[in-house]
Amino acid sequence: MKALKWLAALLLALTSVSVCAEPYDEISQSTPGVTNSTIILGQSAAFSGPAAALGREYRRGAVTYFDYINQEGGINGRRIFLISLDDVYEPKRTIANTKELLEKDNVFSLFGYVGTPTSKAALSQVSKHRVPFFAPYTGAELLRTPVNPIIYNVRASYYQETAALVEHMLQQNKRNIAVFYQDDSYGKAGLEGVRRALENNNLSIGALGTVQRNTTNVSDAVNSISSSNPDGVIMIGAYAACAEFIRQSKKAGMQKTTFMNVSFVGSKALVNDLWLDSEGVVVSQVVPFPASTGIPIVAEYNKVSRMFSEQSLPTYGSLEGYIAAKLFVEGLRKAGKNLTRNNFIAALDTLNKTNLGGFRIDWNRQNHRGSSFVDVTVIGDKHRWVY
């Protein structure tokens, strides 16, 4: 009955995504989510709504790697499964999903939560259950400082991304920089990063505009920002709102303005939404270009992805999910056969100066920031249309 109940819950949760749903044996030890043959992880992310592409792509890459490891026999004979619940990028849904994952599904670890406000909403349950919170898809400082012993970040921070975007503008002698941001903890984290980067160069933000999460009501923001005639606009939002902002801004006369996004925007979804209007849009990225097969980790990602789908297109989001899953598996290997949450956490802290084929990570007890990799890309430059 337990296996059937688990399978039914899994199928109900994964409306828009799929997982190899094989019944697993009874819990054989006291560690939640671990049996003799399986390790069960839990994820809350957007799989529907205006941020759905972010959750889908990240999960696609992660499950690709987990399926590859399972095909090879798993870790110490245990196969890895990821239960993913849709929160539509809304914190209230995230809280409910997290309780379900921890109290009903009894997952071993939380993995790949997508977004700052949603990750923030989960933290009380993370602390209550002392469960590892691995590779959230956010660069917010609230998950990095002060260091939390059970939160492990993989991607670079929004402070690092926004600093790179400001530097990109200053190198072109463009100094009038405005900010369009989502009016919540995500947008404010990016806004603070821009403010700090500009202050370090004796500059201030030229104009501000906001949008509410999961909406595309950007007309007020366009009016506020266009009146300042900025050289560039740094945008901290999801792809639907940012695409609409760019469209309306160009109609308002901002054709010469440089539009810049942090990585969370979702490059592929942004290009799909804007199409030719996306040419010249700048996006900071926290993993390498997903078609650069000269980089070992990217070559591996492309090879493994094609093993499961010959039509699989490389994207930044799925590459990030793949890298996160690979790091998670490295932690499982180091933790050994007698897997517990505590020895998994201890194992992760030993992954300092780990090089995953051109992508470096550095964790220890005092630092769970992970990677510092940031690349500033221009959509359409060097024929980079596939993201």
Sequential DSSP letters for 202-225 = T-----EEEE-TT----HHHHHHH
CA distance 201 to 34: 51
Q: Is residue 290 a part of any domain in this protein?
A: no
Q: Residue 308: what residue type? A: F
Residues 218 and 272 in one domain: yes
This prediction has a pTM of 0.91
For the record, the structure tokens of 2 come out as: 């337990």
What pLDDT, on the 0 to 100 scale, is given for residue 179? 98
Output the pLDDT for position 312. Answer: 83
Cα–Cα distance measured from residue 144 to residue 147, given in angstroms and rounded to the nearest whole number: 5
| Residues 162 and 270 occupy one common structural domain | yes
Domain boundary among 285, 315, 331: 285
Residue 277 and residue 263 share a domain: yes
Residue 384: inside a domain: no
Q: Tell me: do 25 and 51 sit in the same domain.
A: yes
pLDDT computed for residue 29 by the predictor: 56
3-state secondary structure of 139: coil
Tell me: do 275 and 185 sit in the same domain.
yes
pLDDT for position 61: 97
How many structural domains is the chain composed of? 2
Q: Which of 254, 285, 316 is the last residue of a domain?
A: 285
Amino acid occupying residue 305 = S
Whether residues 81 and 99 share a domain: the answer is yes
CA–chain centroid gap for 328, Å, is 15
81 in any annotated domain: yes
Angle at 179 between CA 223 and CA 316, to 5 degrees: 120
What is the extent of the structural domain holding 51? Answer: 2-156+295-372
pLDDT in tens, the chain (387 residues): 444 334 434 433 443 343 433 333 444 458 999 999 999 999 999 999 989 999 999 999 999 999 999 999 999 999 999 999 999 999 999 999 999 999 999 999 999 999 999 999 999 999 999 999 999 999 999 999 999 999 999 999 999 999 999 999 999 999 999 999 999 999 999 999 999 999 999 999 999 999 999 999 999 999 999 999 999 999 999 999 999 999 999 999 999 999 999 999 998 899 999 988 898 999 999 999 999 999 999 999 999 999 998 888 899 999 999 999 999 999 999 999 999 999 999 999 999 889 999 999 999 889 999 999 999 999 986 545 555
Residue 379 domain flag? no
| Whether residue 222 sits in one domain with residue 95 | no
Angle at the Cα of 267 (from 223 to 185), degrees rounded to 5?
60
- Do both 15 and 26 map to the same domain? yes
**What pLDDT was estimated at residue 384?**
55
Q: Note whether residue 387 is domain-resident.
A: no
Q: Decide: 119 and 143 in contact? Cβ < 8 Å.
A: yes
Q: Which residues contact 171 (CB under 8 A, 6 or more apart)?
A: none
Residue 340 lies in a domain: yes
Shared domain check, 106 and 42: yes
Residue 271: give its domain's CATH number.
Answer: 3.40.50.2300
Q: Give me the amino acid identity at 207.
A: A
Burial class (CB in 10 A: 0-12, 13-18, 19+), 199: exposed
Dihedral angle computed from the Cα positions of residues 99, 369, 30 and 118, in that order, rounded to the nearest 10 degrees: 10
Helix (H/G/I), strand (E/B), else coil: 361: strand
Q: 177 and 198 in contact (C-beta within 8 Å)?
A: yes
